[in-house]
Amino acid sequence: MVLNFSPEASNQPMTHNLISKHNLVVNILRAEIDEFGGKMVLELSGKADDIRRGIDYLKANNVGVRPIKEGVRRDEDACTHCGMCVSICPTKALVFDPKTGKVIFTEEKCVACGVCIDACPPRAMEILI
């Protein structure tokens, strides 16, 4: 899911509270947060009731919560297969095929962390939320 932090929420221990008070496992995939607010992409796992309470906690503390519905998409026409995304992909959803000289994108392995988006020089990667 994608969390949008208000300036007030950015200085609070939100992920710590999700773990300690709501018994959730938090996997932070991407975060850009400072005193002015920010955004975090994360995976939450745990019991359904705990996840629901954790999301309610975030919303009550001025954190916008949006599920990632689609993940990441690659524009095949824009991709130059430069490989900049391959070394930074944490799940190996992007790999270089030495036989074809092309970058292979396996959407099923993608967790939509978004690191490939920043690394892609032709901006062929896009997060769909």
* Portion of the chain with pLDDT greater than 70, in percent: 98
Give the bridge partners for 127, in sequence order: 72
28 within 8 A of 21, measured Cβ to Cβ: no
37 within 8 A of 6, measured Cβ to Cβ: yes
pTM of the predicted model over 0.85? no
Pick the closest to residue 40 from 8, 89, 85, 5 (CA basis).
5
Domain end position, chosen among 66, 92, 119: 66
Model confidence at 69, pLDDT cuts 50, 70, 90, reads: low
- On whether both 7 and 56 belong to a single domain, the answer is yes
**CA pair distance 46, 117, nearest whole angstrom:** 28
Phi, psi angle pair for 62, to nearest 5° = 60, 35
- On whether both 78 and 61 belong to a single domain, the answer is no
Mean pLDDT calculated for residue range 35-60: 92
- Number of domains the chain is built from: 2
- On whether both 57 and 78 belong to a single domain, the answer is no
Residue 9 domain boundaries:
2-66
CATH number at residue 20: 3.30.70.260
E strands, the chain, where?
Answer: 2-5, 25-34, 37-45, 63-66, 71-74, 94-97, 102-105, 125-128
- On whether both 98 and 111 belong to a single domain, the answer is yes
